[in-house]
Each structure stands twice: as C-alpha cells, then as structure tokens.
C-alpha cells in the first residue's frame, strides 16, 4: 500500500514536467544580412500539439472563412496548404519549452513555398508529408514527431506567440544550427 502511495506521488509530481518546462538548446546564428535567427529541436506529441481545425481554436475566432487572414485555418483543406505547403499547429502555452507571451497557444507556422521555386514540387511534398505525420500522430493519440522551429528574435529566453518551422528557400529544414 505504501509503495503504491509513493509511486502515485512520484507520478503526480513528475508527470507535468514531462509535458512542460522541457529544456531545449537554442542555436543562434547571424545571417549574411546581419539578422540573428534562433532555432531549436522540439518533440511534438499528442499531448502538446493541437491541429488548426480543433474546436478549441474556433472559440478563438479561427475559421475557414475568417474576415482576417491571420485567423484562417491552415490545414490540409486550406488552399495555402494544397498549393504552397503552408500549415500551422498550436502548442498550449504551458507546454511550450520557452517563455512566451502567447494568450493560450503558441502558433507554429510552416511558411509557404513559392510556385517560382525551382524545387517547388519537392519542397511542397516534403512539407505535406511532415503535416500528415503530425496530423496522424494527433488523431491517433500516440507517437511523436521531431521538428525544428526557428524564430528571429533578439531574446532567446522569451518569444512572442509565434514560431516557424525552420525553412530556407522554400524548403523545410530539419536540422538545427547554422545552415
């Protein structure tokens, strides 16, 4: 009995720590134009990932016919996803590893690929494959997907409410550090 109580106490204390306050190593580099970018690797899980079509976001004014493009749902049904590989997922503020000023969710956005990109088809396909893996993981409620986020911000200790899937010349980059 005492053994079960101790085990329960350990689980109760450490469970929240497995989903929040995860420490990440932020890699910083300065571009040739003098702009500092920061990137880090992060493990998306069903517990820390919310898809753009989730009902919790509709209450925050996200919709398919939003009057403001910033509130448009970017998922597999979106024209931006279909044509450019652009999508977004949401991470509950308390489950994001860096300090942030998000209301409820940090928005992780995949930038679009321009149709003029010489490797347009390849880059869009890669982005869609990543989204499909994330979506399947969330819908099935199991597994994880390792991703790389980037943010151009002077303070590596705190971000605003947005991060971006690391991208360069229309391609998703799944490695951390300097390009």
CA 36 to CA 46: how far, in whole Å?
A: 31
In sequence order, the β-bridge partners of residue 165 are: 149
> What is the model's pLDDT at position 20?
40
d(CA 169, CA 176): 16
Question: What CA–CA distance (Å, rounded) separates 4 from 25?
Answer: 36
pLDDT value, residue 165:
97
DSSP 3-state of 48: coil
HSE of 17 in the Cβ direction (CA atoms, 13 Å)? 6
Map out the domains of the chain as residue ranges. 27-172
Under 8 Å CB-to-CB from 31, ≥6 apart: which residues? 37
> What pLDDT is recorded for position 160?
80
How wide is the angle at C-alpha 160 spanned by C-alphas 77 and 84, nearest 5°? Answer: 25
* pLDDT tens over the chain, length 179 residues: 544 433 333 333 333 333 344 578 989 888 888 888 889 999 999 999 999 888 777 656 665 565 555 666 677 888 788 899 999 999 999 999 988 888 889 999 999 999 999 999 999 999 999 999 999 999 999 999 999 999 876 665 667 888 999 999 999 999 998 88
Specify the pLDDT at position 68: 56
pLDDT on residue 79: 79
Do residues 158 and 106 make contact, with C-beta atoms less than 8 angstroms apart?
Answer: no
Q: CA 179 from chain center: how many Å?
A: 20
pLDDT at 30: 84
Helix%, strand%, coil% for the chain, nearest 5? 30, 25, 40
Instruction: Name 87's bridge partners.
Output: 110
């Amino acid at each position: 009995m005492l053994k079960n109580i101790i085990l329960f106490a350990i689980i109760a204390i450490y469970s929240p720590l497995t989903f929040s306050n995860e420490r990440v190593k932020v890699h910083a580099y300065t571009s040739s134009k003098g702009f500092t970018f920061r990137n880090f690797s992060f493990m998306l899980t069903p517990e820390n990932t919310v898809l753009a079509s989730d009902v919790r976001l509709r209450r925050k004014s996200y919709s398919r016919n939003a009057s403001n493009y910033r509130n448009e749902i970017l998922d597999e049904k979106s024209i931006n996803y279909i044509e450019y590989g652009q999508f977004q997922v949401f991470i509950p503020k308390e489950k994001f590893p860096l300090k942030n000023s998000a209301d409820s969710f940090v928005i992780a956005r995949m930038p679009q690929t321009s149709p003029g990109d010489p490797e347009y088809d390849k880059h869009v396909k890669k982005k869609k494959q990543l989204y499909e893996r994330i979506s399947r993981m969330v819908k099935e409620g199991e597994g994880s997907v390792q991703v790389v986020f980037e943010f151009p911000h002077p303070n590596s200790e705190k971000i605003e409410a947005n991060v971006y899937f690391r991208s360069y010349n229309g391609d998703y980059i799944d490695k951390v550090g300097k390009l």
